């Protein structure tokens, strides 16, 4: 059974060989529940039910091309479409950045004279250039690491700084609508639905990035709640000061 056919949005595609099916799965062009068929099969089956079509976490590197693939033994586990986990990781990463920025105000009192709204906008802009550094160096961010999220290229390598910057800006524009009321709600809902439906966001698919998750232990949630309470407490104290 070397000739395979697959269902693409209601249309039959093929024939392709088994390796092409694996590549389509690895690059998220088709999903694990995509129906496939080959001569000799009594009926169409989801790709995940066909022996040999294991879902690959990363696309294999191009033959004869030197790559630096992570060989740490990292294996994704649990659900891989987790929009709320990604949302809270990003939100709390920014709060953490804001906390350290607040500490900086103690050393440079002149920063405290900036209008609060303007200061918040400046922090948002600055964070877009800080996050790519973390993605390029570690492949994650503090709260992504706590919630066991990793961001990689499809071949398993870490994003370069330019790639990380493009991804961060894409999230800010296409996922958060630049924070503009109503527009941000529309982009957030659209991105949420796409991630749940397709298993990948538009910016990750276009950029060739893979976001993977591992199961989150209970004690990680406790740390998350404790830090969240701390951030809320600091915000309340700051508003009363």
For 120-151, how does the pLDDT look when each residue is reduced to its tens digit (9 = 90+)? 788 888 999 999 999 999 999 999 999 999 99
Q: How many whole angstroms separate alpha carbon 109 and alpha carbon 107?
A: 6
pLDDT score of 11: 75
Bond from prior residue into 28 cis (ω within 30 degrees of 0): no
- Return the closest-CA partner of residue 241 out of 100, 118, 106, 94: 106
**Percent of the chain residues past pLDDT 90, beyond the cut:** 42
Model pLDDT for residues 64-116, shown as the tens digit of each residue? 444 444 445 567 888 888 999 999 999 999 989 988 887 777 777 776 677 77
| pTM > 0.85: yes or no | no
Q: How many whole angstroms separate alpha carbon 145 and alpha carbon 142?
A: 5
Q: Is 155 or 54 the better-scoring residue by pLDDT?
A: 155
- The pair phi, psi for residue 30, each rounded to 5°, is -130, 160
Domain ranges of the chain: 4-49, 83-240
pLDDT score of 66: 47
By the 8 A CB rule, do 6 and 18 touch? no
pLDDT score of 240: 60
By the 8 A CB rule, do 164 and 135 touch? yes
pLDDT score of 223: 94
Q: What is the mean pLDDT of the chain?
A: 83
Please give the C-alpha separations between residue 120 and each of 100, 105, 127, in angstroms, as whole numbers: 13, 13, 11
């Amino acid at each position: 059974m070397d000739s395979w056919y697959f269902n693409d949005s209601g249309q039959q595609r093929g024939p392709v060989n088994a390796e092409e099916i694996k590549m389509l799965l690895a690059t998220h062009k088709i999903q694990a529940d995509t129906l496939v068929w080959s001569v000799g099969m009594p009926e169409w089956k989801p790709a995940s039910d066909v022996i040999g079509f294991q879902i690959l976490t990363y696309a294999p590197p191009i033959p004869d091309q030197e790559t630096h693939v992570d060989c740490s033994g990292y294996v994704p586990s649990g659900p891989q479409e987790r929009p709320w986990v990604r949302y809270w990781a990003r939100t709390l990463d920014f709060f953490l950045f804001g906390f350290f920025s607040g500490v900086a105000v103690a050393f440079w009192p002149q920063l405290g004279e900036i209008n609060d709204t303007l200061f918040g906008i400046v922090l948002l802009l600055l964070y877009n250039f800080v996050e790519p550094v973390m993605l390029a160096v570690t492949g994650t961010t503090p709260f992504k690491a706590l919630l066991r999220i990793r961001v990689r290229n499809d071949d398993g390598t870490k994003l370069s700084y330019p790639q990380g910057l493009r991804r961060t800006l894409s999230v800010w524009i296409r996922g958060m609508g630049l924070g503009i009321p109503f527009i941000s709600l529309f982009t957030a809902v659209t991105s949420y639905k796409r991630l749940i439906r397709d298993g990948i966001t538009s910016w990750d698919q276009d950029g060739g990035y893979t976001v993977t998750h591992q199961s989150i232990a209970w004690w990680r949630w406790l740390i998350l709640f404790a830090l969240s309470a701390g951030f809320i407490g600091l915000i309340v104290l700051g508003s009363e000061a």
